[in-house]
Structure 1
Amino acid sequence: MKLAIIGCGEVGRLYARVAAESFEVVLCDAYPSPAARDLAIELGLTLHERLGDWLAGVDRVWSCVTGDVAAAVAEQSGAFVSPGAMFVDLSTATPADKLRSSELLHTKGIEYADAVIMGAIGMTGLRTSLLVSGEAAATAVADFATIGAPARALENARPGDAAALKLLRTVLTKGIEALAVECLVSAEKQGVREELYRVLGDIDTQGFTTFLDAVVRSHLLHAERRSHEVERAVAQLDQAHLPSSVLAGTRTLYERTVHSLAAHPPGPDAATSIDSALAWLLSVSEADIPAAV
């Protein structure tokens, strides 16, 4: 089976190296790095610098390009890939872009799978989990299993659904990353970082997703008190002459919740479960969005 890997960055090179043991691999990169050229030479692979008629002979395409060019690469590939082949988009493109790419390729008889990498390839390599959606998801998962890459198909999910989950994960993980930078730098400057790890131990004990549900549910009950804690935390970082830009955004969120609690008081049972808490938070969030003209 012939596999084209488009995009020879860190992701493309990782999958190319292992896929070459099970597939007939051909590479493509518009601006190949020295590392990409070296890999092609090492494995004896053809490295193209542009899409073209050579794609007509492949059975699978794994697009490992960046999200900003992913839709264009899918569209351009569709002019050359043969009907019956499968295009797997491993980029971080938006859900809307992935859905449009799927629809475009479908008109040409090309199967499409939306695949996202749920972790840091640079840290966990081939062991990094993949999530896949779309009609061709099961086939893509089977192909990934061939190279030892753990992948799971979302049931009854459209192309773009995997991408949506990836970006929702990004909201949380990158937000935590940014807050961790602010917090640990401040803790290091104050000489209390090791003790900070100890006082965070309760989160380890209860489990992270349980912790998330608990703080969101209780947000309705304690937003005003917690907003004052955030004010003092901002003041602490300011006094240490350290940046608090992410924490400042946290302060804004608490201010919005406190305002919404006063303007649109939740029912007595709103904080009894994560479902009811989210229903109220969603209602006030939508109320804050100006109506389209």
Structure 2
Amino acid sequence: MEAWRSKVEKLVKISPTHVTFIGFGEAAQAILSGWGRDRPASIVAFDVKTDQPASRVAKLADYHAHDVADGQTAADAVTSATMVFSVVTADQALAAAKAAVPGMRSGTIWLDCNSCAPETKRQAAQVITAAGGHYVDVAVMAPVHPKLHRVPMLLAGPDADHAAEILKALDMCPKVAGPEVGHASSIKMIRSVMIKGMEALSAECLLAARKAGVEDEVIASLNASNPEIDWRTKGAYNLERMMVHGERRAAEMREVAKTVAELGLPDRLSRETAVWQDEIAALDVDPEEDSLVDRLDRILGAM
């Protein structure tokens, strides 16, 4: 009984009571949904879409649906926060940190969960630490659905171990990658060369095959060469990722290209992957059914 009480007291001590989400899209909402009734006592959110007339009403509805307070501005949202999840698009990560620090109190833990180049994370870390905050480089290593708050996360930075304990108390799945900011990001960025690159290759290969009328033969050949992969299913999934999330994935791939270039290597494949991701997303085509051919035809019809 004493051991159990000690464990509970420890968890209560390290669990944050005031959490802020900067950015309130799919990732933030998935984490909140996963926590359910075990969520921290106070949740505040701020998303730049509330500043845009075209998206303000819908974003305020998201806040209401998840029972979170509207932070008005990034600085206002973090005023009472003990922990902040920054979950914006990759190109806005540094700007989000700069916008929040005027309202951030000393000691706040800033979890930078954005898919950014290591150098971008290091710049954000300087902004947060200069304001007295504790910056943690976080790499989200899988889609947030269906895992929700249990999605695997890599943490890096001087405060990564402490942050990991807090996240574990929230029933999350952190793993410490190292003590240097940028280490977790490097793993995520370099992995994305392959993951998002395969999506772009799938689009180029299968769209060309469908337009030439040889998709069945091409898929049969791919299945013969790689029997561990069902290319028809995998191709449909890759297209869905690009159709629904291509804009965000393109932003990430531009950070990936930056990462590769900073290592002194050619970044042309990563740059072109970003182009494909952007182009598919810009078509604004609904994936609808799981059929690969249906998705190919819908994309080709919109191109």
Scaled by the length of structure 2, what TM-score is found? 0.60
Cα gap change, 1:198 to 1:97, in 2 (>3 Å): closer
The answer for the alignment partner of 1:258 in structure 2 is: none
1:106-125 matches, cutoff 5 A:
106-122=129-145, 124-125=147-148
**What is the correspondence of 1:72-111 to structure 2 with a 5 Å cutoff?**
72-111=95-134
1:159 equivalent to 2:177? Answer no
Shift of 1:35: 5.1
How many residues end up aligned between the 2 structures? 207
Is the contact made by 2:70 and 2:77 (CA closer than 8 Å) also made in structure 1? no
- CA 1:91–1:187: 2 relative to 1, 3 Å: same
Match of 1:192 in 2: 217
The alignment partner of 2:175 has SS state of: strand
Of 7, 11, 16, the match for 2:27: 11
Structure number with the bigger relative contact order (C-alpha 8 A, sep ≥ 6) is 2
Q: Which amino acid aligns with 1:8?
A: F
Q: How far did residue 203 of structure 1 move?
A: 5.9
Cα offset, 1:60, TM superposition: 0.6
Q: Take 2:168 and 2:99, find their aligned partners in 1: how far apart are those partners?
A: 28
Per-residue CA deviations over 1:36-74 (Å, capped at 9, x if unaligned) read 423422343211231234523110111111121211211
Structure 2 residue runs without a partner (length 5+): 1-16, 230-262, 267-303
Inter-CA distance 16–187: structure 2 relative to 1 (3 Å threshold)? same
Q: Counterpart of 1:142?
A: 165
Q: Does the Cα contact within 8 Å between 1:30 and 1:49 map onto a contact in 2?
A: no
Alpha-carbon distance in structure 2 between the residues aligned to 1:193 and 1:127: 37
Larger Rg: 1
Out of 24, 32, 39, which is 1:22 matched to? 39
Query: Deviations 1:83-105 (Å, cap 9, x if unpaired)?
Result: 11111111122211211221232
Partner of 1:49: 72
Q: Which amino acid aligns with 1:3?
A: V
Q: Which moved more, 1:104-113 or 1:18-27?
A: 18-27
Is the Cα–Cα contact under 8 Å of residues 33 and 148 in structure 2 kept in the other structure? no
Aligned residue type for 1:22: R
Residues 1:146 and 1:18: Cα distance change in structure 2 (over 3 Å): farther
Please name the residue that 2:202 is paired with: 180
Q: Is the 8 A contact 1:63 1:91 kept in 2?
A: yes
% same residue: 22
Maintained 8 Å contact 1:16/1:25: no
RMSD: 2.7
Residue segments in structure 1 that go unaligned for 5+ positions in a row: 205-281, 287-293
TM-score by length of structure 1 reads 0.62
SS at match of 1:16: helix
Structure 1 residues 142, 80: closer, same or farther in 2, change over 3 A? same
